[in-house]
Amino acid sequence: MFETTIEKEKALLVGVVHGQQSVSDVEENLAELGLLAKTAGAIVKGEVIQKRNQVHAALYVGKGKVEEIISKVEMLKVDLVIFDDELSPAQTKNLQKMFEKARVIDRSALILDIFVRHASSKESKTQVELAQLQYLLPRLTRAWTHLERQRGATSTRGGMGETQIEIDRRLVRNRISMLKKDLKKIETQRDTRRKQREDMFKVALVGYTNAGKSSLMNLFSDAGVLVEDKLFATLDTTVRKIDILDNEILLSDTVGFIHKLPHHLVASFKSTLQEVRLADLILIVIDVSDPQFEKHLRTVNEVLMELGVSESQTLTVFNKIDLMTDQEALSGALREYSDAVPVSALQQVNIQQLEEKIIEIRQSGYVIESLKLEHSQQKFLASLHRTAEVLNIDYEEDHILVEVRVRASALHQIRQESQNRTTH
Ligand SMILES: Nc1nc2c(ncn2[C@@H]2O[C@H](COP(=O)(O)OP(=O)(O)OP(=O)(O)O)[C@@H](O)[C@H]2O)c(=O)[nH]1
Ligand SMILES: [Mg+2]
């Protein structure tokens, strides 16, 4: 993974107000961009906003604005100019020429930088490197020629006439396919683990970054996931078997989402997010004390759509209600989103209501079934304890009557297996 150098750099933020947007929209985006910069270790020195109906093809902002940025860069001794939208490779190149010493990056590069810092497992490191290289590939310039040395690939020089940039591109492509292969292997291991708990009711904590997903995970389990007041504290998925009101449930906590999350990241985190795709119930955790909570909710739903999980059942959890001094704001939010459950993970407020709601949803997807088994079907009876909730067993003279609660989707298979007298 290549070096990142944002730490303690002085940053200037740049945002553009496009067609339908309002200035305050962009100001909010820049406030979030500032938080991202802070998380990456930079110090925000100022911001520049431009209203433009159309993005300048070569420079993203207008020429005059570039001059203004250059003078701010000099005045504030800025090392880093961060654009809130993704810049095209050509725009980055052109701007970089004009800003000379100050480095030009965009929101995607900044988010990738934070992911690099926070990745700790082999899986997340691989995923982040893959996303970063995919982002980098079209942006390779001669400045990246040190790649070769960094990767220690000394014997990879190409055939005649291959320029340095072509060599770099080839190296990056090779590395990308290697990382993809590594991820495939990790995915297979995950699949095996997942198969062992196929029949359990799966709940996934999903939400905007810093909303309190890991705090809820820790509250329900002994997972001890890192909880921090910073963006993207969690990058890996943690799955735990938990007990809610005497019901066994699989709960997973995973990476958070953010506005304009780079597509490469969503794509390479697909295997981590697989738990979300396969969940029976998705808890969308939202920090309702944030004035931007509705925008956060929209972003989460967009990423869920991108992941193709729109069909799973969702339940919105409004977290951090302890921070809401304005009670009217909370009741307003609850009027608007009447299904949402208000909680505080930190102060442990209303957790029981959340638990009851989860169980209610779990049971609504279940049916109670009576099975008539032969005494010779002991093996199948034992397996039922794993695949269903056994409510009652009556050993009668000729047969065994078993009452089970099963997921509606698993009913057909259980009926078939119960009638299969030869293999049990
Ligand atoms: N006041 C208050 N703070 C909370 C509450 N829940 C979580 N926090 C704080 O919010 C911050 C983020 O919490 P996490 O649980 O790490 O959030 P997360 O959603 O897992 O965040 P990422 O993993 O970074 O995406 C931490 O400082 C928590 O202590 C709450 O109910 N009230
Ligand atoms: Mg977390």
Across 275-297, average pLDDT: 93
Q: Let me know: does 98 contact 66? Beta carbons within 8 Å.
A: yes
Q: Which amino acid is at 391?
A: L
Is 43 close to ligand 1, i.e. is its CB under 6 Å away? no
Q: Which residue bears the tokens 């988010």? A: 111
* Residue located nearest, by CA, to atom 32 of ligand 1: 320
- At 421, is the pLDDT very low, low, confident or very high (cuts 50, 70, 90)? low
pLDDT in tens, 73-117: 999 999 999 999 999 999 999 999 998 889 999 999 999 999 999
Q: Return the CATH fold of 197-363.
A: Rossmann fold (3.40.50)
Percent of the chain with pLDDT over 70: 91
The pLDDT confidence band at residue 363, using thresholds 50, 70 and 90, is confident
Q: Residue 319 pLDDT more than 90?
A: yes
For tokens 């997972």, name the residue.
Answer: 223
Which residues place a Cβ less than 5 A from the ion ligand 2?
214, 233-234
Distance 156 CA to ligand 1 centre (A): 46
Q: Whose CA is nearest to atom 8 of ligand 1?
A: 212
Q: How far apart are CA 301 and CA 224, in angstroms?
A: 27
Rounded Cα–Cα distance for residues 278 and 281 (Å):
9
Half-sphere exposure of 89 (CA within 13 A, CB side): 8
Predicted pLDDT at 385: 84
User: Is residue 233 in contact with ligand 1, taking CB distance under 6 Å?
Assistant: yes
- The whole-angstrom separation of Cα 305 and Cα 314 is 12
The pTM is what? 0.81
Model pLDDT, residue 155: 44
Residue 290: pLDDT band (50, 70, 90) is: very high
pLDDT of the residue at 340:
94
Higher pLDDT, residue 190 or 147? 190
Question: 33 CA distance to ligand 2 centroid (A)?
Answer: 19
Q: Residue 254 Cα, ligand 2 centroid: separation in angstroms?
A: 7
Look at ligand 1, atom 27, and give the residue with the nearest C-alpha: 229
Quick one: which atom of ligand 1 is closest to the CA of 205?
19
Q: Report the topology of domain 366-419.
A: Alpha-Beta Plaits (3.30.70)
Q: Which ligand is nearest to the CA of 347?
A: 1
The CATH number of domain 10-113, selected from 3.90.1150.10, 3.40.50.11060, 3.30.470.10, 3.40.50.300: 3.40.50.11060
Q: Considering the chain, what is the average pLDDT of its residues?
A: 87
pLDDT higher than 50, residue 420: yes
Ligand 1 site, residue 211, Cβ cutoff 6 A: yes
Q: Is the CB of 320 under 6 A from ligand 1?
A: yes
More confidently predicted of 223 and 4: 223
**Highest mean pLDDT out of 141-155, 190-204, 377-391:** 377-391
Ligand nearest to the CA of 210: 1
Residues in the chain: 424
- Nearest C-alpha neighbor of 250 from the set 350, 362, 343: 362
**How many angstroms is it from 395 CA to the middle of ligand 1?**
51
Per-residue pLDDT, 134: 93
Task: Give the residues across from 12 on adjacent strands.
Answer: 46, 81
Mutate which of 36, 323, 346, 348 for ligand 1? The one with the most ligand atoms within 8 Å of its CB, which is 346
366-419 and 197-363 share a CATH fold: no
Q: So where are the chain's domains?
A: 10-113, 120-194, 197-363, 366-419
Cα of 239 from ligand 2 centre, angstroms:
13
Reported as type and span, the H/E element at residue 397 is none
Nearest partner of 196 among 235, 234, 236, 239, judged by Cα: 239
